[in-house]
Amino acid sequence: MLQELKACIEKAQHLTVLTGAGVSAESGIPTFRGGDGLWNRYRPEELATPEAFSRDPETVWRWYAWRMERVFSAQPNPAHLGFAKLQEMGRLACLITQNVDDLHERAGSRDVLHLHGTLRQMRCVACGSRIPVHRPPEVPPLPVCACGGLLRPDVVWFGESLSPDVLQLAFDEASRSDVMIVAGTSAVVHPAASLPLEVKRHGGTVIEINPDATPLSSMADLSIRMPAGMAITENLGLGQS
């Protein structure tokens, strides 16, 4: 099984990786739908939608400030380090993530495609300016832009569309991938979950790394039932810092 993973990576001409919250779980960041997932403790429609933000921006900002605190104090784990190493070795064409944390970047990955945005930026609802986030904002007061507009986390909320440019780039990468590793995602949120299908549609190989089965498992060429950190480190010799 893991020899197959190694062989697939070695023979890949255009290897891409798609990650989800499970890849950051080993850094202590809660996933969304697992046993102690965020959506089991909070209602996404009350915290991660434009309606929630316009109804009660302070509550939404307090939740995101808490998430930023968790993310900014977390460290990259062997899965993040391993994917960064693959890119450094010239073996990885593109890393696409659904995660809004910056652990891939802090592990050394470059040009990460963030499908759902990033906690490392805020965006003005009025003028659209993007402002880097170096530390979580103290809320209240609500963070405001120099133009006076309200700032929001620069993430994609439920009911919002992804950046067309980022999405096009991701689908272009998927259509060129002869191998895609899909790690740490429940594969239930589209359009991200359609990327592996695009790889298959073009005759590519899809490898899933996830301790649990997902809707992707049945069409994956290889399903590795283990945590991503273990799969990357113990079997590919990557992931050591």
Q: Which residues pair with 144 in a beta bridge?
A: 150
**Does residue 57 bind ligand APR (CB under 6 A)?**
no
Q: How far is the CB of 231 from ligand APR (least distance, A)?
A: 8
Q: Out of 2, 14, 34, 121, point to the residue binding ligand APR (CB under 6 A).
A: 34
Q: Out of 189, 197, 222, 236, point to the residue binding ligand APR (CB under 6 A).
A: 189
Q: Which residues pair with 123 in a beta bridge?
A: 130, 152
| Burial class of residue 43, CB neighbours in 10 A (0-12, 13-18, 19+) | exposed
Which position has the token pair 């963030």?
A: 114
DSSP string, 182-217: EES--S-STTGGGHHHHHHHTT-EEEEE-SS--TTG
Q: Determine whether 116 is an active site residue.
A: yes
> Which of helix, strand or coil describes residue 27?
coil
CB nearer to ligand APR: pick between 10 and 160: 160
Q: How far is the CB of 21 from ligand APR (least distance, A)?
A: 4
**Does residue 177 bind ligand APR (CB under 6 A)?**
no
- Residues 101-120, interacting with ligand APR (CB under 6 A): 116
Q: How far is the CB of 22 from ligand APR (least distance, A)?
A: 2
Which is catalytic among the residues 80, 104, 116, 190?
Answer: 116
Query: Nearest to residue 104, comparing CAs of 76, 126, 127?
Result: 76
Active-site annotation, residues: 116
